[in-house]
Amino acid sequence: MSGRKLGSSNRRLAIPILGLFIAVAGAACSGGAGGGGGSSSSTITLAAVDNPSMADLKKLVGDFQSSHSGIQVNIVTLPEDQLRQQVTQDVAANSGRYDLFTIGTYEVPLWAKKGWIENLSPYIAKDSSYAPDDLIPGIRGALTYNSNLYAVPFYGESSMLMYRKDMLSAAGVTMPDHPTWDQVAAAAQKVNSSTVNGICLRGLPGWGEQLAPLDTVVNTFGGRWFDPQWNAQLNSPQWKQAVTFYVNLLKSAGEPGAGNAGFTECLNAYNSGKVAMWYDATVAASFFTGDAAKNSGYAFAPTKVKDWSGWLWAWSLGMPSSSKKKDAAWTFADWATSKDYAKLVGTKLGWARVSPGTRTSTYSIPEYQQAAGAFAQVTLDSISHADVTHPTVDPVPYIGVQYVDIDEFQQLGDQVSQEFAKVIAGGQTVDQALAKAQTLAAAVGKNYQH
């Protein structure tokens, strides 16, 4: 019946349909006025990675709201990769969806330079009780750009060696406080058996996964990503020695299926007594259960040439320059990273759950010392000695211990780690992987050779 005009009854039906559409569209627009960024001017939105410290903050946000009746806080948790993408999109498009976000040490100097995040030093200066000097120096340095703090630490970590004292003792191994990688490898071989693997190391590709521990090994073996003129250095003997060592250790005494092992997999293997040692984040010890909690010993990150080879990472609160509620956002960031917040977590949720690695004063609280026990001092000393500005034996033009603080590193790191994953899986040799990695790094280095 083509070409037939709508009759009166058709028009009667069309009008309500059109009306419904307009009503929905109208509701959308009116909802948008309130919905975009919160229903009232004092509602702030924090985008955060999910980790146990953040879960505790969610539980305690009511305490903040009851003492600051004018500010409501919405916390959105996202996986790390999604958070990075969303926050980048938010600041780049200046859309103001978030008033605060958790930001890593990798992003802080980069985003501060671009003007994406607010300089927090003026805000800190207004609060005499904030005590920025109490922030652990290594962390404070990593969050500083042009002598100003651009984020405040909520959680900090370095890396350390965790080992089962009972298993090592049964194999006749004594682990020193400051072991070398050669000592660790020898211990791993000795304790390795058909039921227990010597060590768990991350093999899962990703710049924040496998490359984090491997980078610290490279650093202490004397390797570096670039020389001061931004020439890629991945074809150096030090890189070959470090990667060969890491892969051989995994193959001879590491966990099965190492190519898929990240933090979670290693934690589970360690907790269930399937591995005797684990080199990873200092926070890992807080998640130990059963025999792992009772019988673990802790040593500083193993070394080769360079001392203090542990990594440095902090999830910190940063404020996007696009936020329209900066004062309210700072009030919350101030509260969540204050000395008093640590005490609040301790008294309300338990001292073992206080966010580690942020404030020196936390480590002098007797209750925290007792709860964090054996790994508290190792954590504090590891973080204090990690230096993002001097991560390697030879000089480098970049900052960052387990990363290179340039925009291209996320992609470069992911690609390079995939090449190493192929080596772990037996798909190629160390030489082949390093040759490809060198080409990738050289292309990035050219961007900085002016």
Partner 1 sequence: MSAKVVAGGRFQFPTKKVAWSIVGWLVVFIFFFPVLWMWLESLKTEPQAASSPPTILFLPTLEEFQTVLSGDFPPFFINSAIACIGSTILVLVLGLPAAYALAIRPVKRTQDVLFFFISTRFLPFAASLVPLYLLARDLQLLDNIFALGLIYTTINLPLGVWLLRSFLLEIPPELFEAARVDGASFATELRRIVVPLIAPGIAATSLICLIFSWNEFFYAVNFTSSTAATTPIFLVGFISGRGLFYAKLAAAATLASLPVLLAGWIAQKQLIRGLTMGAVK
| Contact footprint for partner 1 (CB under 8 A) | 1-4, 6-7, 9-10, 12-14, 17, 20-21, 24-25, 27-29, 31-33, 35-39, 45, 47, 49-52, 58, 74-80, 82, 86, 89, 93, 95, 97-98, 208, 257, 263-265, 267-269, 271-272, 281, 283-284, 287, 289
Pair of tokens at residue 98 = 């978030």
Rg (CA), the chain: 25
The least CB distance from residue 248 to partner 1, in Å, is 23
- Would you say 108 or 292 has its CB closer to partner 1? 292
* Euclidean distance between CA atoms 293 and 284, whole angstroms: 11
Residue found under tokens 């992003």: 107
The least CB distance from residue 215 to partner 1, in Å, is 17
Residue 255 DSSP one-character state: -
- Would you say 96 or 141 has its CB closer to partner 1? 96
The least CB distance from residue 134 to partner 1, in Å, is 24
* Euclidean distance between CA atoms 328 and 326, whole angstroms: 6
The least CB distance from residue 279 to partner 1, in Å, is 15
- Would you say 97 or 164 has its CB closer to partner 1? 97
CA angle 246, 249, 252 (to 5 degrees): 145
Q: Report which secondary-structure segment, H or E, holds 76.
A: strand 72-78
Sign of the C-alpha dihedral computed for residues 120, 123, 124 and 125 taken in this order: positive
- Would you say 32 or 366 has its CB closer to partner 1? 32
What length does the chain have?
A: 450
* Euclidean distance between CA atoms 394 and 221, whole angstroms: 11
Pair of tokens at residue 312 = 């440095």
Q: Quick count: other Cβ atoms within 10 Å of Cβ 133?
A: 8
Sign of the C-alpha dihedral computed for residues 259, 264, 266 and 272 taken in this order: negative
The least CB distance from residue 238 to partner 1, in Å, is 29
* Contact call for residues 143 and 151 (beta carbons, < 8 A): yes
- Would you say 78 or 371 has its CB closer to partner 1? 78
- Would you say 274 or 339 has its CB closer to partner 1? 274
The least CB distance from residue 170 to partner 1, in Å, is 23
- Would you say 121 or 410 has its CB closer to partner 1? 410
Residue found under tokens 């990873």: 280
The least CB distance from residue 446 to partner 1, in Å, is 28
- Would you say 6 or 374 has its CB closer to partner 1? 6
The least CB distance from residue 178 to partner 1, in Å, is 25
Residue 302 DSSP one-character state: P
Residue found under tokens 């059963």: 290
